[in-house]
Chain A
Amino acid sequence: MSAGAPPPPTPSTSSATTSPQIGADEWVRRAGERLVDRTPQLVLLLVFVVLVALIPVITSNEYIVRVATDTMLYVLLATGLNVAVGWAGLLDLGYIAFYGFAAYLFAELSSGHYGIHWATWITVPLVVVGTIMLGFVLALPSRRVSGDYLAIVTLFFGQIFVTLTTQGYRWDWFGFGGVHDITGGPTGLTQVDPFRVFGHQLTQARDYLWVALAGFAVIAIGLSAANHSRTGRAWRALRDDPLAAEVMGIPVNRLMMFAVAAGAGVAGFAGAVNGAYYQGVFPTSFAFPTLITVYAMVILGGAGSLPGVVLGAIVVNVLLEVLRTPEHARWVFYVAVLAGLIAKVRPWRMLGAVLGGLVAFGLVVNAIVGAVWPRGTAGPLYAGGADFTTHGWFATAVRHWLVLPKNTYELPNYTIGNYAFVILIALVLTLTVVRGWKRYVLLVPTLWLAAFVWENRLVEEAPTTRPLFLGVILIVLMATRPQGLLGTPRVEVV
């Protein structure tokens, strides 16, 4: 070996352009990455509790406090669902029925319905224990039943619960004993008592915010401790490989029941708070759409990560709240699209090209449509409620960029919007299939059409747009980032 010869060049591993695969390399790369992982969870909890507790102190805006209380209830729900889905890997699709059961039980015990008004310090623990027991009972068949079947059984159970509560106002015991009104039927039970603590009735949103927060703190500490113990390890083993876990001495069925029951207990507490806070319980609050909402929170935040699902609950509920009012919803849409583009489109020149192309495309289409069919661009911008606007810089800009048709009887806007919606879905699906420059080219009309559908259709239909958004979250997350925001990527045991 001659001394002066340089060593042969090592081949470059183009790791910069390939995304890390699950495995040793990816794990090493990620090691020590996230701030959240390295901060002790207790500190995180403390910070969270203090921040949330201060919300009603800092702001006197009742709306914000109410949204915070609502969010806190969802935080509780997401925490409970995380035990079964995130920690033990069980698909519990009947979870929302636990929430409803608890709320209804609380209502039966403290309302004008039966005239029973038990004290808070009795009803709340009773409701929690009752829900835990329901959880055990529901998980009992799991001993014979694989994960998939558990999903169907729990889903069916959730459906049965909705049927029972909706029909429960004319319950007859197979024709004997007359007709009883157990659940108040579709209109639910009202006049539910608020909480009474230390002789003081809790009537304000901020009271329930603090109650929920305190409950959450206790629950989070307890559950976290359980998860770091032998039970948590057994859950994780069960999640990875139930058969191997059982052969290693872990009583799999018992642990499945613990997981479901623990989650049910948390839902039980949340249900009691729900009943007292809203002073009423209704069947529609505890049905499939709410279940999907909680699942979206857990999945987005990261199933298996307690801070993750809390974050997921906050993000999803705040977004849903924002989507209620067109003013704010509109901004969310445009900001999200822009942020997505900035994050994903590289290099910068391509981003500029796409944005420029988008603006140009819109102006051109608007001009053409305007010339050919004047009514097509004469419409105003939807501004919420029954308001429309044609003034303001934003409205003017959009009216020249998008096509906002004037509403007529023969061709109402919603028909145009509907067709556009279907075409938009087709375009988005096509986008996922094409590659390279074709993708960027297709991106322009797709984004424009998305804005079109948004402004002409979705903005007005908030009650439907919100659920659509949830469904999309689930589908997209599973395909692109199944571990959510704070979850750890998992290797599948094939």
Chain B
Amino acid sequence: MTGVLAFTLYDWHYFFAQLVAGLTLGSLYALLALGYTMVYGILKLLNFAHGDVYMVGAYIGYFVLTALGGALSPVIPVVPLILLMFMAAMTGCAVLGVVIERFAYRPLRRAPRIAPLISALGVSFFIQQSAVLLWGAIPRSYNTFSLHNGVLFTYVTIGNLRLQYAQILVILSAIALMASLTLFVWRTTTGKAMRATSFDPEAASMMGIDIDRVISVTFLIGSALAGAAGVMTGLIYQNVQPYMGFGAGLKAFTAAVVGGIGNIGGAMLGGMLIGVAESLTIGYLSSTFQDLIVFTVLIVFMLFRPTGLRGTPVLQKV
């Protein structure tokens, strides 16, 4: 342990680089985790298909990029291009999420607990394979390095520390999105309705809240965030392929559990933690163990702190 600590302090720059990479990755996990945590909070449903919505978002960004000339010769400047990619992905994924809820989960509201879970598995698998059918299993590349001579990857130096534009972009936009979500949930009527529904759906519906609409909005927001995360992934990590949603989804769900399932602030915190943990593992141990570390974190939390860092213990009404 002291060895690691000493090693860290010795090569401060390396540690910082891993930390920033971890925060970037963590921002992506946080955005994904929000979708999981909100849906679980309201419906008590593990939406397995959420990771695949994220994957679709990454592909939408890719197609917008290609349609506008691709990374090598875009027909519009970088900033509007990236904005457009985000908007398209977020809109497309929002629609996809609402459709999934409406057709795969809503008919099962009164069914045994296991039914929507199985349906979610089916939807996840179906979306993955549809992506293979439509777009092929070979990964597509955003080719961001060629975008405007790789401007996104140039380093910016703040004081003693070096960051890439892309990383700043991701972390800041994630924070912006999460801040807007928090404002939405705490200040708007719909947000209040969402909180009420996640607390007690029956009582909420008796207070005149349209449960169906609230649930659709929840899926809409969660999926839009996932779409944004998809585009960010493409921008930073280049490659998108049909199975990318599966692993990311698992880790994002771990982040949601760590932060406290159903808790929005917790999802953000959990996402960052998981991202940093994974990044440090890759940096200091080896990439073979990155999945294992996250899995271990999940098990540890489930055994010793199932309500997560910021979750409130749920009282079972007997």
A touches B (Cβ under 8 A): yes
A478 and B118: CB pair below 8 A?
yes
Given known pairs A152-B298, A421-B130, A478-B111, the reply for A243 and B318 (CB within 8 Å) is yes
B299 and A174: CB pair below 8 A?
no
Stretch at the interface among A34-42, A230-238, A468-476: A468-476
Interface size of B by CB at 8 A reads 50
Given known pairs A148-B46, A471-B126, A479-B107, the reply for A89 and B114 (CB within 8 Å) is yes
Q: Is A381 interfacial (CB-CB < 8 Å)? A: no
Given known pairs A149-B257, A421-B133, A474-B125, the reply for A295 and B107 (CB within 8 Å) is no
B129 and A295: CB pair below 8 A?
no
Given known pairs A148-B46, A299-B118, A492-B112, the reply for A157 and B125 (CB within 8 Å) is no
Given known pairs A457-B133, A464-B133, the reply for A174 and B285 (CB within 8 Å) is yes
Residues of chain B lying within 8 A (CB to CB) of residue A471 = 122-126, 129
A147 and B130: CB pair below 8 A?
no
Residues of chain A lying within 8 A (CB to CB) of residue B48 = 155
Given known pairs A160-B292, A474-B118, the reply for A421 and B134 (CB within 8 Å) is yes
Q: Is B10 interfacial (CB-CB < 8 Å)? A: no
From residue A299, how far is it (CB to closest CB) to chain B in Å?
6
B103 and A468: CB pair below 8 A?
no
A155 and B250: CB pair below 8 A?
yes
Given known pairs A152-B298, A475-B123, the reply for A492 and B129 (CB within 8 Å) is no
B292 and A429: CB pair below 8 A?
no
Look across to chain A and name the residue whose beta carbon is closest to the beta carbon of B48.
Answer: A155
From residue A423, how far is it (CB to closest CB) to chain B in Å?
12
A141 and B122: CB pair below 8 A?
no
Q: Is B286 interfacial (CB-CB < 8 Å)? A: yes
Docked Cα-Cα span, A432 to B117, in Å, equals: 21
Task: Please encode chain B, from 117 to 142, with 1 for each CB lying within 8 Å of some chain A CB and 0 for all others.
Answer: 11101111110111011100000000
Instruction: State which residues 283-310 of A face B: CB under 8 Å.
Output: 288-289, 292, 295, 299
Instruction: State which residues 157-204 of A face B: CB under 8 Å.
Output: 157, 159-160, 163-164, 167, 170-172, 174-175
From residue A101, how far is it (CB to closest CB) to chain B in Å?
16
B302 and A474: CB pair below 8 A?
no
B285 and A152: CB pair below 8 A?
no
Please report the number of residue pairs spanning A and B whose Cβ atoms sit closer than 8 angstroms: 139
Q: CB within 8 A of A468: which of B114, B129, B298? A: B129
Q: Is B150 interfacial (CB-CB < 8 Å)? A: no
Given known pairs A157-B295, A159-B291, A461-B133, the reply for A152 and B46 (CB within 8 Å) is yes
Task: Please encode chain A, from 105 to 135, with 1 for each CB lying within 8 Å of some chain B CB and 0 for all others.
Answer: 0000000000000000000000000000000
Given known pairs A147-B113, A295-B118, the reply for A470 and B291 (CB within 8 Å) is no
Residues of chain A lying within 8 A (CB to CB) of residue B254 = 152, 156
Residues of chain B lying within 8 A (CB to CB) of residue A93 = 121
Look across to chain B and name the residue whose beta carbon is closest to the beta carbon of A140.
Answer: B303
Residues of chain A lying within 8 A (CB to CB) of residue B134 = 418, 421-422
B119 and A474: CB pair below 8 A?
yes
Task: Please encode chain A, from 462 to 494, with 1 for each CB lying within 8 Å of some chain B CB and 0 for all others.
Answer: 001101101111110111001000000010101
Q: CB within 8 A of A474: which of B122, B133, B298, B306? A: B122
Given known pairs A141-B303, A159-B291, A171-B288, the reply for A475 and B126 (CB within 8 Å) is yes
A478 and B129: CB pair below 8 A?
no
B133 and A153: CB pair below 8 A?
no
From residue B117, how far is it (CB to closest CB) to chain A in Å?
6
Q: Is A29 interfacial (CB-CB < 8 Å)? A: no
Residues of chain A lying within 8 A (CB to CB) of residue B161 = none
Q: Is A145 interfacial (CB-CB < 8 Å)? A: yes
Look across to chain A and name the residue whose beta carbon is closest to the beta carbon of B133.
Answer: A464
Task: Offer 20 A-B interface pairs, CB within 8 angstroms, sorted by A.
Answer: A141-B303, A144-B302, A144-B303, A145-B306, A148-B40, A149-B257, A152-B250, A152-B253, A152-B257, A156-B298, A157-B295, A159-B291, A160-B292, A292-B121, A421-B133, A467-B125, A477-B118, A479-B104, A482-B111, A482-B112
Additional A-B contact list (10), CB under 8 Å, known A243-B318, A473-B122: A93-B121, A164-B292, A288-B125, A292-B122, A299-B118, A464-B132, A474-B122, A478-B118, A492-B110, A494-B110
B interface residues, Cβ below 8 angstroms from A: 40, 44, 46, 48, 99, 103-104, 107-108, 110-119, 121-126, 128-130, 132-134, 246-247, 250, 253-254, 257, 285-286, 288, 291-292, 295, 298-299, 302-303, 306, 316, 318
